[in-house]
Each structure stands twice: as C-alpha cells, then as structure tokens.
Structure 1
Amino acid sequence: MLTLDKLTVEHRVGPVSGRLAAGRLTLLVGPNGSGKSSLLLAAAGLVTADGQVRLNGELLDTLDLAELARRRAMLVQHSVLPAGLKGYELLALGVQGEVSEAACEEMARLSAYLKLDTLYGRSLSALSGGEQQRLLIAKTLLQVSPALNPEAQLLLLDEPLAGLDWQHQLATLRLLRHYAEQGLTVVASIHDINLAAQFGDDIWCLHKGQLVASGGPEVLTPTLIAEVFEVKVSLLEQDGQRLLLPE
C-alpha cells in the first residue's frame, strides 16, 4: 500500500492525502498541468516534496537508492535513452541482478504482449517513439516483476500509453492489471477517460493540483467531466460498461 499524507510539490500539486491499495490498479486522470506527473514523481521519491509518503508503512525517504530500486519502479514521461543500445540491451537494464533463465522467460512473456521480438536486435535510435515506449514499459515492468523480484511493491507509470497505437494501449493496460493482481500497488496516469473507466479499479481525478474525486470508475460522472475538463458528455451504460460520449 502507498500512503500519502499531505504530499505537496510547491506550485505543482497538493496537499494530497490518500491510500493507494496493493492489488489494485489506480489510474490518475486530469487535464494537462493538473499535477499528475508531480504526484507520481513525488510518490517515487524523485522530486523534493513536503508531507509524507509511506510504502507498506515505511517512510519512503528512509530507504536508500538500492532499496528504492528493489521496492519500486517508475516510468517517467520523458525518458532519456542510452545511446548506442539495442532493444534487448535496454530490457536487460531493468532486470534486478543477472539475466537468468527466469528473467528471459519473463522477457518473452512481455514480448508476446507488447510485440517486442522485432525490436530486440535494432538500435534504439532507429525505432519510432511508440516502439521505444513499448520497450521502456517492458523494462519498467521487469524491474518489479514479482516473478523476479520478491521485494517489489510499487509500480508507477506516467502516461504509459503516450505514442502507442490502440492494440498496444490495451495490451499495456492488461499487463498493469496483471501486475496489480499479483499484489503490487500499480498507479498510472492516463488521458483516455473511457479507458480509465474500463480498466481502473480505482480512479483519482486531479484538478489544479488538488485531488477532487477518488473511488471506483463511477466517480467519472458527466458533472465531474464538465467541471474538470470543460467538456459536456453523456453517460452510456451497457453490459456493465460505462462510456462517456462528448455531446
């Protein structure tokens, strides 16, 4: 469980308090500049922040870098890729310890989801933005894969769907649900409201640096969307699914 107590990044987000449960996928929504990236970076211990962040009861700022790397992984929004690496070499950087047989099996499983086989032998500089993003997602997942890292607790992703086509967006969200089901606390920011409603166990909506709504997908109401996103929508419910349609 990730617990935030009056978490504040000056001029960006907060104070925000709340609990993000293990075993669930929490999706952050909100307009550009609402504080999603700052919240994730602060929760990962990557930016200076006030307030407290606890990971399964332990204060995050009491953990050293090696412990943090074992406990949590984060996909940042704008990653700087190491020059000269090939796809498989980037993935290997995400593995805790040696690239064992178990690690190769996990890489193969992720490759099947994200269609990575054709990217392994290519230089990162020769790949499209979406292809690079798929490799970065896989690298981040490998770092905290419960099959490889028994200390893994937290997975944070800032706009993981950016640059991905539809099939890979869906594959990524299914992978995040799978990792949550294995006991990790999984938190990701997302712009597609309908995908958030479909895949999120919990939704946090940020607006102007404040947490304005939290709960299940039912918190994504036409009233909230109008107030936060300034878009008028109608709600369609069918076969247990919720769809918000712009008017």
Structure 2
Amino acid sequence: MLSLEAVQLAGRVGPISAELAAGRLTLLLGPNGSGKSSLLAAAAGLLDGQGEIRLAGRPLRAMALSELARRRAMLVQHAPLPAGLRGYELLALAVAPLGEVSEAACLAMAELGEYLGLASLYPRLLADLSGGEQQRLQIAATLLQVSPRINPEARLLLLDEPLAGLDWQHQLATLRLLRHYAGLGLAVVASIHDINLACQYADEIWCLHKGRLVAQGGPGLLTPALVAEVFGVRVRLLEQDGARLLLPD
C-alpha cells in the first residue's frame, strides 16, 4: 500500500526502506527525537527529502494536494485550531475535500461522536475545550476524512501521537478505532509512547532510534534487550494468557 524506498531527511531520518500493508495497524515506537514525526510527515507528503514514497503504486510527488487530501489523512501534533469554530464545524472542514457534508458523513460523524464521547463537544467553541477534548475532536476529524463509508478513494491513515493528552478510556477507544479502520482496508500507522499498549494493539511495530528503523515485526520483537538498547531502560518481560507486559526492572 505505502512503500518507502531509501527515504532520507537530512539530519532527521533514514535512509529507510520498508512497506506499510493495507489492513494492518502499524505502531511507531522510539524515544523523543528518534524521527517518528518526521517519518510520518514524509509519508503524508508534507516533507520532501531523498528517496521515493509510493502510495498504491503512485509516487507521492506525482499527486496534487487535492488528490492527497482524498487518498490520505494525517493527525499532526500541536495543530493550530481555527479560531471561533465549534466542534461540529471542525469535522465539517475535514470532509470539505470530499464535497458537501452528505447524509453518510453525518452518520459517520454521529458514530465517531458516540464512540469518542463527542456529542456534548460538538456545539461548543473549540477555545472553550480542554486539551484532551480538542484532541478527541481532531482524531475524529482525521478519521472522518478517510472513512471508507464516505471516501472510497482513501488508502492511508497517519497519526502522530494520537494518545497525547487523552485519559485511559479514550486512549483505548482510539486504539480500537484504529484497528477498526485497518480492518476496513486502510493502511494505518501511528506513533505512540506506551510500549505495553503497542504490544496489545499493533499488528506490526516499527522501532526507530536516532533516525533509523532498527527493528520491525510483530509485538514479539519488543524484548528487554531491544528496550534497553533503544530506550535505555531495563525491563523484565511477563507473559500470561498470550499477553506480553514489559515492566521496569
């Protein structure tokens, strides 16, 4: 679905060659400054560097911004919110590249609102919301843009630290939604910091360190040795009923 060929951003990432498959949730792990945000921005076509990135076989460089807006969506960190908007208006902007706000879009908005607890936030001004409430609305807007129900051209969903600022309930709800969207056929990739949540929810994990992709594979790749090498933390591994848990030693 998304292929990276010798992708390199000077001083930040690479070179990295890898593929993101449709129908799978890939979670990026790595310490601060390891290149996760830069790699996601490059994969979204927001940063230009060396190498080539292809989405569904086509180079990103060959796509106009209008086409990119239909093919992929990205949640960025610390995105400025438009002044004076209410919650439902933010989601309406997310579907603007797809045309008018259709009945199907309203149904998708209602479903996301129920799952992420947004109903009470929709009529409120964004400036009056807490950081976590704003984050939930921005997650919903990003998901709405590539919802297969209203956008059959969507192929890729990228999220940079979507769990930041969320309470535990909404962290879990967000991860379940990402797995659901992967199940609908999208390639979904997100950066997070919680190693144990990655073990529980990821189909595949990419581990970045100093701009390099040092490990990729299933959750089983997260061994105490790798965690010590990448994060500088000693942990011990517990396994029970098929679940893996890494605890500080």
TM-score (norm 2): 0.98
| CA distance in structure 2 between the aligned counterparts of 1:74 and 1:215, rounded to whole angstroms | 23
Question: Structure 1: which amino acid aligns with 2:242?
Answer: G
Cross-structure match for 2:169 = 167
Structure 1 residue 32 and structure 2 residue 32: aligned?
yes
Following superposition, the deviation at residue 167 of structure 1 comes to 0.3
Runs of 4+ aligned structure 1 residues displaced above 4 Å come to none
Shift of 1:78: 1.4
CA distance in 1, matches of 2:28, 2:158: 11
> Distance in 2 between the 1:109 and 1:220 partners?
34
Counterpart Cα distance in 1 of 2:21 and 2:225: 26
> Which one-letter code corresponds to 1:114 in the other structure?
L
How large is the RMSD of aligned CA atoms in angstroms?
Answer: 0.6
| Aligned residue number for residue 76 of structure 1 | 76
Query: Counterparts of 2:209 and 2:94 in 1: how far apart (Å)?
Result: 33
Q: 1: distance between equivalents of 2:199 and 2:7?
A: 25
Q: Which moved more, 1:31-40 or 1:100-109?
A: 100-109
Q: CA deviation at 1:181?
A: 0.3
Deviation string, structure 1 residues 118-145 (Cα, Å, up to 9, x no partner): 1011100000000000000000000000
Partner of 1:181: 183
Structure 2 counterpart of 1:193, from 184, 195, 212? 195
> What SS does the corresponding residue of 1:89 show, helix, strand or coil?
helix
Q: Secondary structure at the match of 2:53?
A: strand
Question: Which secondary structure state, in structure 1, belongs to the residue aligned with residue 233 of structure 2?
Answer: coil
Asked if 1:110 is matched to 2:112, the reply is yes
The Cα shift of 1:56 comes to 1.1
Query: Helix, strand or coil: the match of 1:118?
Result: coil
Which residues of structure 1 form unaligned runs of 5+? none
* Counterpart amino acid of residue 40 in structure 2: L
Query: Which stretch shows the higher mean deviation, 184-193 or 96-105?
Result: 96-105
After superposition, give the CA deviation of every residue in 1:64-108 in whole Å (9 maximum; x if it has no partner): 011100000000011010000000000111112111111111011
**Cα distance in structure 1, aligned partners of 2:115 and 2:234:** 35
Q: Distance in 2 between matches of 1:49 and 1:135?
A: 31
Question: 1:135 & 1:97 partners in 2: Cα distance?
Answer: 20
Counterpart check, 1:130 vs 2:138: no
Match of 1:157 in 2: 159
TM-score by structure 1 length?
Answer: 0.99
- Aligned partner of residue 15 in structure 2, secondary structure: strand
Letter in 2 for 1:172: T
> Partner of 1:18: helix, strand, or coil?
strand
2:150 equivalent to 1:148: yes
- Partner residue, 1:94: 94
- Cα distance in structure 1, aligned partners of 2:103 and 2:203: 33
> Partners in 2 of 1:48 and 1:63 — Cα distance?
13
Task: Map 1:216-231; keep pairs closer than 5 Å.
Answer: 216-231=218-233
Name structure 2 gaps, 5 residues minimum.
none
Aligned equivalent of 2:44: 44
Displacement of 1:48 in angstroms is 1.9
SS at match of 1:119: coil
Counterpart CA distance in 2 for 1:118 and 1:49 is 42
Partner of 1:65: 65
Q: Counterparts of 1:114 and 1:180 in 2: how far apart (Å)?
A: 18
Q: Distance in 2 between matches of 1:197 and 1:243?
A: 8
